[in-house]
Amino acid sequence: MSRPKYWRGIEELEQSPEFLAQKDREFSTDIPMEDALSNTTEESLGFNANRRDFLKVMGFGMTAATLSACFEAPTKKAIPYVKKPDDQIPGVANYYASTTPEGNPVLVKTRVGRPILLEGNPDSYTGRNGIDTPGHATILGLYDEDRIRAPHKNANPSDWDIVDREIANKIAELKQTGAKVRVLSSSVLSPSTQAVIDEFLAQFEDGQASHVMYDAVSTSSILDAHEATFGQRMLPTYQMQKAEVIASFACDFLGTWIAPNEFTWKYVVNRDAKTGKMSRHFQVESMLSLTGANADIRFPVQPSQIGLSLLNLHNKVARLVGKPTLPGVESFNVAANGLDKIANELVEARGKSLVLCGINDTNIQQVVNAINYMLDNYGNTVDIDNPGLLRKGSDTDLATLAAELERGEVDGLFLYGANPVYNSVYSDAFKKAIPEMKLSVSFAHKFDETTELCEYVCPDHHYLESWGDKQQATNLYSVVQPTINPIFNSRQVEDSFLTWTGNKIDFHDYLKNRWFSIYEAEQEENFVDGQAFWDTCLRKGVYEKEATSGGRFSFNEVAILEASKGIKGPVTEGMEIVLYEKVAIRDGKYGNNPWLHELPDPITRVAWDNYLVVPNAYAKENGLKNEDIVSVSIEGLAEPVELPVFVQPGLARNTVGVALGYGRSKNVGRVAKVVGGYNAFQLLTRNGDNVSYRRGGVSISKTEKTYPLALTQTFDTLYDPAKGEVFGDDYDRTDYIIRETILPFYNGEGGKDNPYRENVEKWEEKRKHLVTLWESHFKDPETNRNIRWAMVIDLNKCTGCGACIISCHAENNVPVVGKKEVRDRRNMHWLRIDRYYSGDTENPDVVFQPMMCQHCDNAPCETVCPVLATIHSNEGLNQMTYNRCVGTRYCANNCPYKVRRFNWFSYYNDELFRDVNPYQNELGRLVLNPDVTVRFRGVMEKCSWCVQRLQEAKLKAKIQANSSFAKPDDKNLTACQSACSANAVVFGDLNDKNSAVSKLFYDERSYTVLEEVKTLPSIKYMTKVRNRTVEEYEEKEAIKKEVQNYTKV
């Protein structure tokens, strides 16, 4: 059909001549270009436009346009969710259950998809009350900018496909050659991972490939000893909560030994003075460990004498229980009759006692087993029916591997969580062998000492990025689940293995299948199917069964006789050196973690370094003082080692010590590089196959050099001997700060011996007649509907581990300031743990006192701030307004507790702190808690009692109860409270008569620090009660008097 013809106008329709003339022209009327450019008309531009002019104009225009375009406008990308995920509410945190590599079940707090805080998993058995000190800091490792970001080949970035292909080929080669292949790892806690590894090794011929486990700080001897005495290689589960008498020999189970956080709550459960059910804790050790600091009775003994004292203890116990004694034991005792005392009490508490030993010597451990066996502790306090699985390393296997390396038999080595070049006694063997191997693969996060040498680096995920599971004991399982997308181009080690096994399944499914099989195996009838079971476990984070019991093990008497002969007598002459772990740094695995380095060691209170701890007496004799550099020469060591000295009370005579975990390679990261220090693993020796952490034949010579140490507490007591000469004991004002008593006094019937009970009555009496200048702002609790926050810290429970400090670090974005600043006493910790000694320097009593803002009702800081930057909330919080603060520092001066911290520099962007402060790099910033301001330079800051958490809790409570007067429950309110494995920190609402805190707040044991200043703090401390007999108490007192008289003369 023909389309109709459209006409534009009458003219076209009529085809008029004008139209015809015009129709091909674009513009029907002329554009007055000429007029415009010439100066004929009125409105002309006034110049004749020739080509040049045009070009000029155009040129100018273009240039102008270009120049104006040169300015780079900042582009901000903010892409909102098109569809909001159900679990993502902006400003509301999500919690996921996971497990740290050390096997601590944790809850991971995430905000908009990034983990920012770790807390113990309350549903779990081991981690119910919190996680250990380094555990809290592992979250920072996730955002470590020095992590390996991609697979590497010969230290050059590569690609997974390439790496996989090449490794696959090499594995094929190895299969042909039949050369030995080894997977070397630290204890693998995950059954699934274990399965994967086994599957991987299974593809080789029998005997060709095997899996070797070792731990940097080895407890192999305990497992070996049990093999020897009970015929099964296992790590018992220790039940401190059942023990009435604990005798620990050089075993720092509260600080560093195996699972400190688990042992801590188990230990503290039975340290409650109120019920009078308080365990008695003996500590026989050479160093002053955290555990020793908490012990009731402590005996300093030279390292080489510990074995002997155990032998003697064995015989004394044997006599008491009428068992055969060990022949040929040189008689030895600690402090006159220490061992008899211990033996008697152990036997009295038969079946409810516990002997522990931290020495990695199979013979000694067998003796320990023997003692525990004699005392019927097996099945009670020492559980081998449900052995622990936290440690599997075997020194023997490692020794074998080392031998094979020497002989050059191993051609394929896979290193998973193992860093033998740095931390094993066979360092040199590995150093030599690895470069020559056909195939050496490391799964490390860092270019650590061993990884440097490996051909291939297949970086593992951080555990917060990976799937997995852990098994703490035969009856305890927990899961690991990713809480963030992998940050780098890393891959889970299990996936790598699966790939190289040729197994196509990805590890997540693999894991699920395994858990389904657990479900089948256990016949869990309260779940419909495996999926439901898995989902629940994933939500809870743990799967725990009742501990079974009843299995009886026959004890091998013969082995003991053998073992006893293997124990060497005391080294009488010469100094000995102990290689110990620090509570925070441990074996140095987290050597690049600034939080851990900034945390002062609870005992020495030194941060950022390792050093040679030296007994006071020795230092006095040889004129050594802190920070002197001494050269330490040791038998069998090529050249002497130069170390700075730290004079430490409480060390056994002739004993010095140096901490492990320092002196990491520069490639580990910028922090490790800054720290430096000396790698004490170089001093490891072998005793049989056992790795030994003690050495004899030490001689020390002073050099002229000195080395600065970042010491954060220079005074250990308020008793200042120099002044003592003038005014005597008057000057010991410690009572105003620390209060302690002993159990018999405290439980004196009717409280007649309990000074504190009387104090309370006196105080109540006094309170009646108190005159004050003005009314309190806080009304009578009965009539007051408001919350009144308060805290009680039980000095009896606090072990001083410092987990709370790290947790506070993470929760409140506390900056890391580095060694120099810490040395200038400018560490920014909102919460510090003061450590005080009393008594003599040979064997002092130790008290730990967590000290943070006391939130005083009559706060001296508030009165003096000229701009009202710090004021009191009607809930009793002493609030700090950073924006208002002008930084006069008057408040800090006027704070009797000296808990206020000033931002001397702008730590968040000052170059000086680039290396140490993680908040200065893109990645590290991700760990910042969005609820808390990052403080500006020149601003005062201090503990806020985690006000952001309080607000959140209040809102939750109100929403849940749908009432504006609802009050939150007092669980996990502040970070320190939730972090404390010992439950030493109780926090809550004082106006609520039923809250735990209000009960304890007016407890007879509660006191406020510096009461006489009448700042009326909202924090009370509870008197420390030591479980000592009156005689022991009097002995100690006599010594104290002696010390003071001595200084007076």
Partner 1 sequence: MNKQFLLGKFWNPDHVMEALAKFKSAGVKVYDVYAPFPLHGIESLMDIKRTRLAYASFIYGIIGFSVAILAMGSIFGSFWPMNIGGKPNIPWPSFVPITFELTVLFAAHGIVITFFIVARYWPGKKAVLMDDRQTDDVFVIAIDKNKIQDIEEVTGILKDNEAFEISEKEVTV
Partner 2 sequence: MSHVESPIRQKWVTNTEHYNKITEDIARPIESKPNLLWLVVTGFSGLVMAAGFAIIGWTIWEGIGTWGLNPTVGWGFDITNFVFWVGIGHAGTLISAVLLLFRQPWRNSINRASEAMTIFAVFCAGLFPVIHMGRPWLALWFFPLPNTRGSLWVNFNSPLLWDVFAISTYLTVSLVFWYLGMVPDFATLRDRLRKKGRKFMSSIYGFLSFGWDGSSRNWSRYEIVTWVLAGLATPLVLSVHTIVSMDFATSVIPGWHTTIFPPYFVAGAIFSGFGMVQTLMIVTRKVYKLEDYITMDHMESIAKIVVATGSIVGLAYMTEFFVAWYSGSLWERYIFINRAFGPYAWAYWIMFSCNVITPQLFWFRWVRRNMVFTFILSIFVNIGMWFERFVIIVTSLHRDYLASSWATYTPTWVEAGIFIGTFGLFFFLFFLFAKFLPVINIFEVKTLVRHPKKPENLGESTVTKAIVD
Binding site for partner 1 (CB under 8 A): 774-777, 856-863, 868, 871-874, 1016
Is 482 strand, coil or helix? Answer: coil
> From the CB of 305, what's the least distance to partner 2, in Å?
34
Residue 1 is a binding residue for partner 2 (CB under 8 A): no
Number of residues that bind partner 2 (CB under 8 A): 64
Residue 923 is a binding residue for partner 2 (CB under 8 A): no
Residue showing tokens 């809290």: 136
* Residue 22 tokens, joined: 């015009």
Site string for partner 2, 828-867 (x = CB under 8 A): ----x-xxx------------x-x--------x--xxxxx
Contact 498, 507 (CB under 8 A): yes
> From the CB of 894, what's the least distance to partner 2, in Å?
5
> From the CB of 460, what's the least distance to partner 2, in Å?
39
How far apart are the C-alpha atoms of 974 and 117, rounded to whole Å? Answer: 12
Nearer to partner 1, 718 or 871 (CB): 871
Residue 721 is a binding residue for partner 2 (CB under 8 A): no
Nearer to partner 2, 540 or 937 (CB): 937
Nearer to partner 1, 747 or 879 (CB): 879
How far apart are the C-alpha atoms of 417 and 240, rounded to whole Å? Answer: 30
The DSSP output letter for 623 is T
713 binds, among partner 1, partner 2, none (CB under 5 to 8 A by kind): partner 2
> From the CB of 813, what's the least distance to partner 2, in Å?
18
Among 520, 730, 761, 1011, binds partner 2 (CB under 8 A): 730
Nearer to partner 2, 152 or 900 (CB): 900
Work out the number of other CB atoms within 10 angstroms of the CB of residue 558: 9
How far apart are the C-alpha atoms of 675 and 624, rounded to whole Å? Answer: 24
Residue 914 is a binding residue for partner 2 (CB under 8 A): no
**Going by C-beta distance under 8 Å and a sequence separation of 6 or more, which residues neighbour residue 676?**
662, 663
825 binds, among partner 1, partner 2, none (CB under 5 to 8 A by kind): partner 2
Site string for partner 2, 217-256 (x = CB under 8 A): ----------------------------------------
- How many whole angstroms from its chain centre is CA 529? 37
Residue 625 is a binding residue for partner 2 (CB under 8 A): no
Q: Which amino acid is at 965?
A: F
> From the CB of 945, what's the least distance to partner 1, in Å?
16
* Residue 353 tokens, joined: 């006692």
984 binds, among partner 1, partner 2, none (CB under 5 to 8 A by kind): none
Contact 987, 789 (CB under 8 A): yes
Residue 534 is a binding residue for partner 2 (CB under 8 A): no
730 binds, among partner 2, partner 1, none (CB under 5 to 8 A by kind): partner 2
- Applying CB under 8 A, the span of 341-349, 667-675, 889-897, 976-984 interacting with partner 2 comes to 889-897
* Residue 223 tokens, joined: 């497992």
Nearer to partner 1, 389 or 891 (CB): 891
Q: What is the dihedral of CA 518, 519, 523, 527, to 10 degrees?
A: 160
The DSSP output letter for 167 is H
CA geometry: angle at 521 spanning 515 and 527, to 5°?
A: 65
885 binds, among partner 1, partner 2, none (CB under 5 to 8 A by kind): partner 2
Contact 687, 304 (CB under 8 A): no
Is 976 strand, coil or helix? Answer: helix
- Where do the H-state alpha helices sit in 634-735? 670-675, 721-727
How far apart are the C-alpha atoms of 82 and 746, rounded to whole Å? Answer: 65
Per CB under 8 A, contacts with partner 2 among 807-826 are: 821, 824-826
Nearer to partner 1, 40 or 874 (CB): 874
Residue 447 is a binding residue for partner 2 (CB under 8 A): no
Residue 868 is a binding residue for partner 2 (CB under 8 A): yes
Closest by Cα among 271, 267, 308, 264 to 286: 308
Closest by Cα among 647, 644, 636, 685 to 662: 644
> From the CB of 844, what's the least distance to partner 2, in Å?
14
Residues 663-697, buried b or exposed e (16+ Cβ, 10 A)? Answer: bbbebbbbbbbbbebbbbbebbbebebbbbbbbbe
Nearer to partner 2, 175 or 937 (CB): 937
Contact 796, 1022 (CB under 8 A): yes
| Rounded (to 5) percent helix, strand, coil in the chain | 35, 20, 45
Residue showing tokens 């500006």: 936
Nearer to partner 1, 637 or 892 (CB): 892
Nearer to partner 1, 694 or 900 (CB): 900
Detail the DSSP E strand segments found in 474-597.
476-480, 542-544, 575-580
> From the CB of 863, what's the least distance to partner 1, in Å?
4
> From the CB of 1013, what's the least distance to partner 2, in Å?
6
> From the CB of 732, what's the least distance to partner 2, in Å?
9
Nearer to partner 1, 89 or 868 (CB): 868
> From the CB of 630, what's the least distance to partner 2, in Å?
25
Closest by Cα among 330, 589, 586 to 446: 589
Site string for partner 2, 663-702 (x = CB under 8 A): ----------------------------------------
Is 355 strand, coil or helix? Answer: strand
- Where do the H-state alpha helices sit in 42-151? 51-70, 133-142
Nearer to partner 2, 262 or 834 (CB): 834
Closest by Cα among 559, 989, 947 to 784: 989
Is 771 strand, coil or helix? Answer: coil
886 binds, among partner 2, partner 1, none (CB under 5 to 8 A by kind): partner 2
Residue 659 is a binding residue for partner 2 (CB under 8 A): no
892 binds, among partner 2, partner 1, none (CB under 5 to 8 A by kind): partner 2
- Where do the H-state alpha helices sit in 219-301? 220-230, 260-269, 290-294
553 binds, among partner 1, partner 2, none (CB under 5 to 8 A by kind): none
Nearer to partner 2, 488 or 736 (CB): 736
* Residue 845 tokens, joined: 């009593």
Contact 873, 856 (CB under 8 A): no
Among 155, 561, 1010, 1039, binds partner 2 (CB under 8 A): 1010
> From the CB of 858, what's the least distance to partner 1, in Å?
4
Beta bridge partners, 747, equal: none
Residue 1046 is a binding residue for partner 2 (CB under 8 A): no
> From the CB of 484, what's the least distance to partner 2, in Å?
34
**Going by C-beta distance under 8 Å and a sequence separation of 6 or more, which residues neighbour residue 893?**
none
834 binds, among partner 1, partner 2, none (CB under 5 to 8 A by kind): partner 2
- Applying CB under 8 A, the span of 106-114, 230-238, 773-781, 902-910 interacting with partner 2 comes to 902-910
Residue 733 is a binding residue for partner 2 (CB under 8 A): yes
How far apart are the C-alpha atoms of 322 and 328, rounded to whole Å? Answer: 18
> From the CB of 874, what's the least distance to partner 1, in Å?
7
Give the H or E element holding residue 414.
Answer: strand 410-416
Residue 1020 is a binding residue for partner 2 (CB under 8 A): no
Chain positions contacting partner 2, by CB under 8 A: 713-718, 720, 722-723, 726-727, 730-731, 733-734, 736-737, 821, 824-826, 832, 834-836, 849, 851, 860, 863-868, 884-890, 892-894, 896-898, 900-906, 910, 936-940, 1009-1010, 1013, 1015
